[in-house]
Amino acid sequence: MNQPNRIDSWLLQDDEKPLTITEDPKIPNAATVLLRKQDHTLGNMIRAQLLLDPTVLFAGYKVPHPLENDIIIKIQCDERSNPADALKRACHLLIRQTVHIKQQFMDQAKNIEMGMGPDQQQNIPGQNSVYDPYSIDNSISNTQQSNNNIIVGGSQIRDPNNASQDVYDF
């Protein structure tokens, strides 16, 4: 048949890079980011998170062709930051939000299993139900620290103070 293999639409080949950042020569302090094998879901999430950053002047994305699973993100920052750092901050905040949402879901599922309503909570000391990704306090509910690793809701996140470790294990 003429139909492409479905797995090829999201699985990277061995020689493919998932991310390419190219400096924009026409616009000061701007870059173009190519994300391979991604779609509107991730593109819109990253764009929205970038626009919350006060150092970002412009953030937009497009899918170059409907049959290709690539997205192009354009980022322009002011003099306080650069596009690569803004993208990294946005991705870290999205990961934190995703971990927090996962933990809230697991807590609600546990409450339902225990016969409590979905709106009832167990009184856990020190647990804050409001999540602010821009808060100065970097603690997340149900966070533990051990051996320079952070465990959030049973998922291991490596030491955020070590810039060389940008891998998250879920």
Domains of the chain: 6-81 (3.30.1360.10)
pTM, rounded to two decimals: 0.66
Task: State the Cα–Cα distance between residues 125 and 106, nearest whole angstrom.
Answer: 18
Q: What is the mean pLDDT of the chain?
A: 78
Q: Strands, E, within 39-87: which ranges?
A: 56-62, 70-77
Residue 151 has pLDDT above 60, yes or no: no
Look at residues 148, 124, 127 and name the one whose alpha carbon lies nearest to residue 139.
127
Q: Taking the CA atoms of the chain, what radius of gyration do you get in angstroms?
A: 19
What the block records as the tokens of 70 is: 């690539």
Q: In this predicted structure, what is the pLDDT of residue 141? A: 44
Instruction: Specify the residue for token string 């970038």.
Output: 50
Confidence of residue 140 (pLDDT cuts 50, 70, 90): very low
Q: In this predicted structure, what is the pLDDT of residue 94? A: 96
Q: In this predicted structure, what is the pLDDT of residue 131? A: 55
Task: State the Cα–Cα distance between residues 133 and 152, nearest whole angstrom.
Answer: 14
Task: State the Cα–Cα distance between residues 14 and 140, nearest whole angstrom.
Answer: 36
CA distances from 151 to 32, 102, 156 (A): 34, 13, 5
Q: What is the pLDDT of residues 9-28, one digit of tens each?
A: 777 788 888 889 999 999 99
Q: Are 91 and 33 in contact (CB under 8 A)?
A: no
Helices and strands of the chain, counted as H and E runs? 2, 8
φ, ψ for residue 49, nearest 5 deg: -70, -40
Burial class (CB in 10 A: 0-12, 13-18, 19+), 45: middle
Strands 155-157 and 168-169: antiparallel
Q: In this predicted structure, what is the pLDDT of residue 111? A: 87
